[in-house]
């Protein structure tokens, strides 16, 4: 049950420092799979970090192309997630190759976990995780285990910032549509 009263003034950039663990102890909201991460000026989001199985780096990298193709073929394929951005990063800082999957959403991701995983399944994103250590072997039939993996590998932020805080992707698109319509109208009046 999200707190929507935090729809602050979008003209005022805002930063939010988040306690260790990712939750505010005095206003933690209980979700179906445990406590839910709060909405911040940068909306909802997650940063899942996991170690890549030895020799699988290129396989993971190749998924970048396959997601690009999936979105090209159907631009609305990820729409239900209400995403702003996805960022996939491969890095090795001395402890082996790791994969970081960072997403910024308008949806309260914790609430729609199964729906998100369903979309991952459709686009093949799910199978990228089979190249990560600790991902359940029985992921096809054991949704709770997949969700547990996600939650255990989520590295919560301790700072989030929004230049135009709490604004949804829909609102951004609406504003751009109005701007485009206005430009066209002005052109017509020349």
Partner 1 sequence: MLEFEDIQHILLTRAPALTGRYEFLSFKDPAGARTWLAEILPKVQSAKAMRESVNKEKRWITIAFTWNGLRALGVDEAALATFPQEFRDGMVARARMLGDTGANAPVHWVDKTASPDLHAIAILFARDASERERCAVDHAKLIAECKGVEVLSSLDLEATPPFDYAHDHFGYRDRLSQPIIEGSGDEPTPGSGAALKAGEFILGYPDESGVVPLLPKPDVLSRNGSFMAYRRLEEHVGKFRDFLRTEGKTPQEQELIAAKLMGRWRSGAPLVLSPDKDDPALGADPQRNNNFNYKEQDPQGYAVPLGSHMRRMNPRDTAASMNRHRMIRRGATYGGHLPEGMPDDGTERGIAAFVICASLIRQYEFAQNVWVNDRNFHKLGNERDPIIGAQDGTLEYKIPKRPIRRKIVGLPAFTTVRGGAYFFLPGLKALRWLAAAGKRAESQLGTTL
Binding site for partner 1 (CB under 8 A): 1-5, 7, 30-33, 80, 108, 111-112, 114-115, 118-119, 121, 138, 140-144, 168, 170
Instruction: Name residue, tokens 């396989």.
Output: 59
Burial of 156 (0-12, 13-18, 19+ CB in 10 A): middle
Q: How far is the CB of 91 from partner 1 (least distance, A)?
A: 31
* 3-state SS, residue 96: coil
Phi, psi of 52 (to 5 degrees): -80, 140
Q: Which is nearer to partner 1, 142 or 183 (CB)?
A: 142
Q: Residue 155 Cβ, how far from partner 1 at the closest point, in Å?
A: 23
Dihedral Cα 25, 27, 32, 34, nearest 10 deg: -10
CB of 139 to partner 1, least distance (A): 10
CB of 182 to partner 1, least distance (A): 22
Q: In whole angstroms, what is the distance from residue 56 CA to residue 9 CA?
A: 45
DSSP letter, residue 28:
P
Which lies closer to partner 1 via its Cβ, residue 7 or residue 163?
Answer: 7
Residue closer to partner 1 by CB (options 3, 183) is 3
Closer of 30 and 187 to partner 1 (Cβ): 30
């Amino acid at each position: 049950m999200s707190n929507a009263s935090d729809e602050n003034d979008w003209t005022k950039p805002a930063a939010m420092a988040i306690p260790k663990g990712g939750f505010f102890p005095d206003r933690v909201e209980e979700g179906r799979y445990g406590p839910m991460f709060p909405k911040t000026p940068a909306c909802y989001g997650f940063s899942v970090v996991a170690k890549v199985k030895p020799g699988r780096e290129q396989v993971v990298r190749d998924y970048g192309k396959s997601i690009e193709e999936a979105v090209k073929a159907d631009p609305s394929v990820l729409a239900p997630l209400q995403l702003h951005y996805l960022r996939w990063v491969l890095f090795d800082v001395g402890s082996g190759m790791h994969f970081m999957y960072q997403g910024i959403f308008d949806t309260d991701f914790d609430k729609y976990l199964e729906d998100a995983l369903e979309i991952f399944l459709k686009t093949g994103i799910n199978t990228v995780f089979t190249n990560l250590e600790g991902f359940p072997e029985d992921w096809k039939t054991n949704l709770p285990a997949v969700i547990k993996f996600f939650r255990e590998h989520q590295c919560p932020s301790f700072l989030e910032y929004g230049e135009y805080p709490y604004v949804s992707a829909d609102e951004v698109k609406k504003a751009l549509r109005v701007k485009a319509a206005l430009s066209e109208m002005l052109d017509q009046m020349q």
